Each structure stands twice: as structure tokens, then as C-alpha cells.
Structure 1
Amino acid sequence: MKKTISIIGSGFSALSASCYLAKEGYDVTIYEKNATIGGRARQLKSNGFTFDMGPSWYWMPDVFESFFKDFNKKTTDYYELIKLNPAYRVYFGINEFITITDNLEEIAKTFEAIEEGSGKKLIDYISEAKSNYDIAIKKLVYRPGVSALELITLETTQKLNQFFGTVSKDIRKKFKNERLIQILEFPVLFLGAKPSKTPSFYNFMNYADFGMGTWHPKTGMFDVVRGIESLAKELGVTFKTNSRIDEIIVKNNIATSLIINDEIITSDIVLSGADYQHTETLLPKEHRVYSDEYWDSRVFAPSSLLFYVGFNKKIQSISHHALFFDVDFEQHAMDIYDDPKWPEAPLFYANFPSVTDKTTAPEGMESGFFLIPLAPGIEDTEALREEYFDKIISRFESVTQQSIKNNIIFKKSFCKNDFIEDYNAYKGNAYGMANTLLQTAFLRPKLKSKKVKNLYFTGQLTVPGPGVPPALISGKLVSELINKSFSL
């Protein structure tokens, strides 16, 4: 008889794990507390507009291809990709911006025009970043974080110094122009920590950016969710939404069942793709591995204030992705990590999917997604949300020299309180736990509970870390651990 696996949550890591486990012959059911699947990658449809509610950058396409290849499939079997050109635009002032194109040679020319000699330096830097990327993807990230020995390979011992330097220091040794420095520091923000706290080795994110390009699923990131859902169903996975998990029942130190909507559901194995800290609160205290003090001492990636906005006209001179670095980069980072508070002058990100995908807005209109990174755990009120929306829209109008505020016909916000309510996210974090030196690989929370047999975890608070590609990998890693334990 097939062993049953109950998976909590339906984010990317849970979806990934469900496919691998079903392929191995387990009877897999996903239980999702919300009405729709996808976790942070859910989709919002309203008033004729469509928005990806969370992840909007499709980087590291090789990881997605690798995932589908494990099932003798290709991404093209489930969704179509478009390589964006420009990849994105970075604004520094009124009509002052740098455009990042879809190939390294053109980007190097852009750099060279701004700082003499920087084009060649960029090519060399990205070559080194590619070397690190190859090591990270082929040697490190597909390891389960069980032992420090996983990090010791011939290649990593040759780059040992890169685990003790920082991305910021390395970039600043090579480049002098502050705008170019900020563009190069930007990609590591996806890892959830300041560039000055991120080990040099993680410059592989620069290769993911400039070397591999920025892509977009034809009708949004939810295409990927739908694609993996389709694969999971082909493999026999069952999905149950509106299924709130109230408790993990433990008998004789073994996870035996879940209480879901007040009903007891028995299972041979429990796997949580939900927030790790929240999942442990579903256990009796004596069965929790990590204390409140542990979680409070961790460096968490930021929370976010998000706005999903519909405009009744087309917006001029915009790219699909745009970063607004027209204020002090360092000060905003300090307001997130060093002295947590609402930033007086926030950097922000704007995404206009309707530039690429006409289905996301009615004809002649525009869909916009705005994001302000914030410290997790800070105060969140409607008044603050409105204050900060006014700030960034006023800046957007000033920097791009156009009026848009009076053309808003739909707006919905999402912030810390919503991350807690919808995803049970610790302190309302948006991206999980940061990948700092002391929170890397085996130093992250474990995929397998040390106290409760048959209880496992996956997702951005465990290995390998935050981001969509790491989430797919996390699902594979935990499925391998489960299969190893139950095939003995």
C-alpha cells in the first residue's frame, strides 16, 4: 500500500516536492489554507486587470529547465518564455536612467560610456561570477544542508576567501561610479541581505542577471504555478484548498496526522512548505526544535509594501521592470537592517506587466505593481500605506515626467499584516531568512525535524534559501531525504 504524504501549503517548494514524491509512488495531497494555490506566487484578478501577487522576476532559467527535465518534460510543455529587452531600467533622477539590455556585450558598452575602463572590468567580473554560478548550481545548492562538509569541494577550497569577503567590497574595488555600483549590488538583494553582509561568493547573482538575462512567462509568473500544478496532477497529486491546518498531532514522537478545518487527517509523513516558524507552533512545545529566541535572533529578509494598480491609460516611456534608485540606497538599507523603521525616502520597484503581456490590462490601459522593501515586524496601518503610496507615485511622476495618479481606477495594497494573515509569515517577512554567512547551507533550519519522526520542512526558511529557483531545489532536496528514509 502506498505511503501517504500530507503537504502543508502550495508555494513553489511544496509544489516541487509534491511532484518528486508522487513520481516515487507516494500518495500525495497538498492542503492549502487559501482559496487558490501558489502561496506568495498567487494571482490577483480584478476589474479587468491581472497581477502576479509575489515573485515577478524570472531568473536562472536553467533551474526551471532542470526541474522539468527530472520528469522528462520541458518548460515549453507548460508555458512560453519571453526574454525581456530591456531587462530593466534603473532611474536615478528626473529622466536620468540606465537601461540594462538583454546581453552582456551591450551592458558592457553602457558601463564603459559611464566609467572609462569599466566595460572590460564588467566582462571579467561576470566571468568570475559565472565560475561561482557553475560551482553553486552544480556542486552546492543541490545538497541538503546536513553537514558543513557539503561545502568542502576542490572548487570551493580554491575560493575560500570568497566566503569571508563581501559582494559590496569586491564591487567597490573594481568600480567607482556609484550608479554602476548600485546596479551591481542590486541582484544580491534577492538573497535577503545587504550587499555589505553578503559573502563574495554570491556574486553569482550578477551572472544570473547579466549573463542569463531576465525572462517573463507569457502571461505572468502564475504560468509557472499552473505548469507545475498540471505536472503534479499528471503524477497523481491531489489538491485541497481552503484547508486550514490547526495542529500537527504527534504520538510517541511521530507525526501521525493533521487537524484540518477541525477534522483529523491521518498521514504517514507530514511535509510543511508553510512558514517554518509557524509550522512549529502547530506542534506541542516539547517537539519544537527552534525556540522563539532562535527565530528572533535570525536575520530575516525584508517584508514589503506592495500595490497592485490599474490605470485607465497607457503610461509613457516605461519598461516592464523599473528600479527607482533616485534616493539614498544605503539609508534605505539601514532602515531595513540596522535601525528598523519606515524609511523616510524609500527606494521602490515598479513592474508593468502589460508592457509585455496585453492580457493583464484592458485595451488602452496599464497594469502596475509597486514594491517598497521594508523591515519585517514594523508597524503596518492603512494610513502608513497611503502615505507611502503618495510618496512613490509622486516620485514616479516627477522622475518620469508624467501624470498618472488621477488615472488610477483600481488599487489594492498588501503589506506586513497581510503576509502574516495570508501566509503565516514570521514578522510578516516576504522572502524568508537572509543568506548571510552564518545562515548559509548547514547553518539554516533543517529539512528534517530532529525531534519528530516523519516530519519534514521545505521552503525559503530552510535550504538552499530565498527565491523561486531555490524553492524548486528545496522541494527536490526534501523529497530525496524522505525517499531515502522510507526506502531503507
Structure 2
Amino acid sequence: MRKTIAIIGSGFSSLAAACYLAQQGNDVTIYEKNATIGGRARQFQKEGFTFDMGPSWYWMPDVFERFFQDFSKKPSDYYELVKLNPAYRVYFGINDFISIYDNLEDIKASFEEIEKGSAQELQKFIDKAKSNYDIAIKDLVYRPGVSPLELITKETALKLNQFLGNVSADIRKKFKNERLVQILEFPVLFLGAKPSKTPSFYNFMNYADFGLGTWHPKTGMFDVIRGIEKLALELGVTIKTNSSIEKIIVENKTATAIIINGEKIETDIILSGADYQHTETLLEKEHRAYSEKYWESRIFAPSSLLFFIGFNKKIENISHHALFFDTDFNQHAVDIYDHPKWPDSPLFYANFPSKTDLTAAPDGMESGFFLIPLAPGIEDNEKLREEYFEKIITRFEQITQQQIRNNIIFKMSFCKNDFVADYNAYKGNAYGMANTLLQTAFLRPKLKSKKVRNLYFTGQLTVPGPGVPPALISGKLAAELIQKSLRS
């Protein structure tokens, strides 16, 4: 029977869920509070420059392929991919960097030059990571987090010790060079937690990095948003922007309507891809499944300070993706997770999409954005933003041996306060809830409300966790639960 389904938000998980639900014959409408779709994956354009405002790494291409395959489509039906080589560089000092190439053999050769015997160790490490990837990404993450029994399979039983150890300890047993250690610890930062707090099993992220490579949609990550939007529209989904949800109406413990811009819209099912904690504040208190104390006790992934910058010249000595690990990696992690404060010497990430996509900047110019991971809930003001821009731009100029600050045409910052204002993000987090051992699978907030019938959730605060591929999977899982309830 055809049902009306209202979806809150238009990020990756919401768009994915909308496609699945429309495919089943439902009347699906997406309501987005902002003027454009994409959620954190929005696009920003100014003076001929184009920026992805959120995700900029296209990893796990098989997850995207599986998503489109569910609709008898391929990613190439909607966007074109370029494999980056180098995938990224990690900078440790003045013109001192390690390039991560687009194939494992070249990466192994780079490791061997730095630490004798490390190529063989890396091969063994990646083989184990691939085994975990095959179990996790092809099976476990497609389970809805309803029961702990979902995690108990013949394969996971054989890897029980990997849920008890941690990624950092495993890496340090095999590699002694601190640079190589930091490179191998980097991918799990996408999961939102310190490598020392991330279960060993999650080393599958290293296979996603070294085994599958880093890709770039031809004109940016927003290509993917546009592609899924096009698919959704083809399936009959309606998308309405500038539609901020003010309240969720509950009658007899059943969600029956939403209030948008003062208008009551009745619906059979409500699915929220917006911030989970914020969505529950749209309910009366007795209908909320998770208390403020609960959210306060969770470990959240970092927030970020971002700068979107247009340069009037080409930037030299830099790759598309660049990580600046020229300061203390561990101290910055402490400043985010253990004793939250603005870091004295932050690591940072720089992205120059116009190195790959010539449409991202006018001829002879460069678009770039810089990101500093920060503790969520931290103080945020313009003075601090400028202070930290000076810190990183000074280091960038020193390390890459060039002057660029006088070539800035414009600069826009985005930080914790903006994550709250634009996305209703709890404590201004950028990436959701960290995937620690006690915040994995069935231990995350549920896809289905425990207190209100016909109310569901999707996205980075629920199953399976942070990141773009998990967001697509989350949308599928939520849609499957809804479809199951409609059949029963």
C-alpha cells in the first residue's frame, strides 16, 4: 500500500533512503532547511571558484557501485571519476613529504626506502585489512544494529581479538618509523576517534586507502549529490528546500505530522536524516528516546575550522590532497579528545580541487580549502579563527617554500558555530559520533525510535557511523526497516 513519507534533510543518507523508499512505490518528499540540497556535502561558489563544503575524499568506490546497482544503474550513469595519483601527500617539514601513490606496489617501495623490511610488513598488514574489509563492508555494515547477534558470524568469531585490541597498538608492533605509523593511523581518523581508541578490526580503512585508492568526481563531491538527486527525481521523489522543521506531531505515541514554516503537513512515516539529537528536540520530552545526559556522555567526532579560499595564481609544490603532520600528532589528538581546547600547534589538511578539476577555479588561479580538526563544543569566534589561519598559512608557506597570502582574492571561514546554525549539529560536530568499541553497531542510537511509532532516523549519529559510504548504507538500512514495518 502506497504511503506518504516525509524525510528531514537532504544529505547523503536522506537522499539514499528517499531513492529506496520511492522505488518501493511510496510517495516520498524531502524537506531541507537550507536553500540548497546536500547537507554537509553542499557546494559553495564565489567569483568563479567552486568548493565542496564537506566531504572531499571519495573512498570505497564499491559502496557507491552497490548503491546504484540496487537501481540497475552505475555511478558512471551520473558522474565521472578520476583516480588521483598521488592519492595524497603527507608533509613533515620544508619540502619534506611522503607521497601515497595510486597502487600498493609503489606505496610499499616508498615505505621500504624509509624503513627496511617495512614493505613486507605492509603487505601482510594490508592483506589482513582486506580480509576485515570483506567482512565489514560487504556484510556487517549492512545490518541494522537491532541486536548484538548481528555481529556474531563465523568470520567475526575468528577475529574476536581484533575487537579487543586497537589500531595504534597493532601498527606500532609492525612499524617503528613514526612517519609511517602516522600515515597508517591517518585513515581511521575518518571514523572520528583516536587510533588508540579504535578497535583493531577497523584497520579495514587502510585497505580502503592503499588497496582501493582515492578517487575524485570530475567536478567535485557535489557531483555525487547531484547524481543521487537525479536518481531520486527519476524515481518520483519531491524535494523542497527552505523548509525548516519546527515540530514533529505525535498522537497516541505515533508520529503523524510535521510543522514546517508554521504549516502542518500530515504524513504516514517520518524519517530524519538531520542531526539525531536535534530531531529529538522537535518532540515533546516524553517522546525522546535519548536524554541530554546520554548525548553528553557520548564520544563525538571532531568539529572543524575550515577556510575556503580563492587564489589569483597557481599554488606550487602541493598535491590535490595534502596532510600537514609537521607538528605533534598525538598532542593534537589529546587537545581534541582528552582535554578539549584549541590546539597550540594544530595538524591541518589542505585541498586544492583545481589541481584535478579545471572548472574549480578561473584560468591561472587556484581554489583551496584548509581544515583544522577541533574538539566539538569548543569556543568559536572570529578572533580565534583569524589567529589559527595565521598559524597554518605561515606554516604552509614555510613548508611549501612559497608566498601565497598576498594572492588571496577572498577567504570564507566555517567553524563550530556554523555547523550548529546550518546543520543543527550537536556541539557543532562535523563528522557525527565516533566509532569506538562501545559506540559500534547495536550500541549506537537506533534507526527506529524506541518511543514513537512511524519515526525513523538515518545518518552519521546512527548505524553504521560517520563517513559518506556509511551514510549511503544508513539510508538503505533505514529504508529497509520502514519497508519491513509497512509489510507487517
TM over 0.5: yes
Quick one: which amino acid aligns to residue 247 of structure 2? E
Match of 2:322 in 1: 322
The alignment status of 1:208 with 2:208, answered yes or no, reads yes
3-state SS, counterpart of residue 139 of structure 2: helix
The alignment status of 1:347 with 2:347, answered yes or no, reads yes
Match of 1:283 in 2: 283
Q: Aligned runs of 1:237-252 on 2, under 5 Å? A: 237-252=237-252
Q: Aligned runs of 1:152-167 on 2, under 5 Å? A: 152-167=152-167
Match of 1:114 in 2: 114
Q: Aligned runs of 1:17-28 on 2, under 5 Å? A: 17-28=17-28
CA distance in 2, matches of 1:469, 1:315: 31
Write out per-residue CA displacement over residues 18-63 of structure 1, whole angstroms, 9 at most, x where no aligned residue: 0000000110000000000000000000011000000000000000
Q: Aligned runs of 1:212-291 on 2, under 5 Å? A: 212-291=212-291
Match of 2:103 in 1: 103
Identity fraction in percent: 80
Match of 2:448 in 1: 448
Write out per-residue CA displacement over residues 250-286 of structure 1, whole angstroms, 9 at most, x where no aligned residue: 0000000000011000000000000000000000000
RMSD of equivalent CA atoms: 0.4
CA distance in 2, matches of 1:265, 1:373: 39
Match of 1:363 in 2: 363
Quick one: which amino acid aligns to residue 436 of structure 1? T
Report the CA distance between 1:139 and its aligned residue: 2.2
Report the CA distance between 1:76 and its aligned residue: 0.2
3-state SS, counterpart of residue 265 of structure 1: strand
Q: Post-superposition, which runs of at least 4 consecutive aligned residues in structure 1 deviate over 2 A?
A: none
Match of 1:57 in 2: 57
Write out per-residue CA displacement over residues 144-180 of structure 1, whole angstroms, 9 at most, x where no aligned residue: 0000000000000000000010000000000000000
CA distance in 1, matches of 2:303, 2:450: 29
The alignment status of 1:336 with 2:336, answered yes or no, reads yes
Bigger mean CA offset, 132-141 vs 231-240: 132-141
Match of 1:6 in 2: 6
Write out per-residue CA displacement over residues 428-454 of structure 1, whole angstroms, 9 at most, x where no aligned residue: 000000000000000000000010000
The alignment status of 1:35 with 2:32, answered yes or no, reads no
Report the CA distance between 1:2 and its aligned residue: 2.1
Q: Aligned runs of 1:294-309 on 2, under 5 Å? A: 294-309=294-309
3-state SS, counterpart of residue 397 of structure 2: helix
CA distance in 2, matches of 1:410, 1:152: 53
Quick one: which amino acid aligns to residue 18 of structure 1? A
Write out per-residue CA displacement over residues 219-273 of structure 1, whole angstroms, 9 at most, x where no aligned residue: 0000000000000000000000000100000000000000001100000000000
3-state SS, counterpart of residue 412 of structure 2: strand
3-state SS, counterpart of residue 59 of structure 1: coil
Report the CA distance between 1:130 and its aligned residue: 0.1
CA distance in 2, matches of 1:380, 1:239: 33
The alignment status of 1:461 with 2:461, answered yes or no, reads yes
Q: Aligned runs of 1:361-400 on 2, under 5 Å? A: 361-400=361-400
Q: Aligned runs of 1:114-133 on 2, under 5 Å? A: 114-133=114-133
Write out per-residue CA displacement over residues 322-374 of structure 1, whole angstroms, 9 at most, x where no aligned residue: 00000000000000000000000000000000000010000000000100000
Report the CA distance between 1:137 and its aligned residue: 1.4
Quick one: which amino acid aligns to residue 67 of structure 2? F
Write out per-residue CA displacement over residues 391-416 of structure 1, whole angstroms, 9 at most, x where no aligned residue: 10000000011000000001100000
CA distance in 1, matches of 2:244, 2:473: 26
Count, aligned residues:
488
Quick one: which amino acid aligns to residue 426 of structure 2? Y
The alignment status of 1:90 with 2:98, answered yes or no, reads no
Quick one: which amino acid aligns to residue 120 of structure 1? Q
Quick one: which amino acid aligns to residue 149 of structure 1? L
Match of 1:196 in 2: 196
CA distance in 1, matches of 2:351, 2:263: 42
Write out per-residue CA displacement over residues 435-483 of structure 1, whole angstroms, 9 at most, x where no aligned residue: 0000000000000001000000000000000000000000000000000
CA distance in 2, matches of 1:90, 1:166: 23
Report the CA distance between 1:318 and its aligned residue: 1.0
CA distance in 2, matches of 1:168, 1:315: 34
CA distance in 2, matches of 1:118, 1:441: 33
Report the CA distance between 1:138 and its aligned residue: 2.0
Match of 1:185 in 2: 185
Match of 2:404 in 1: 404
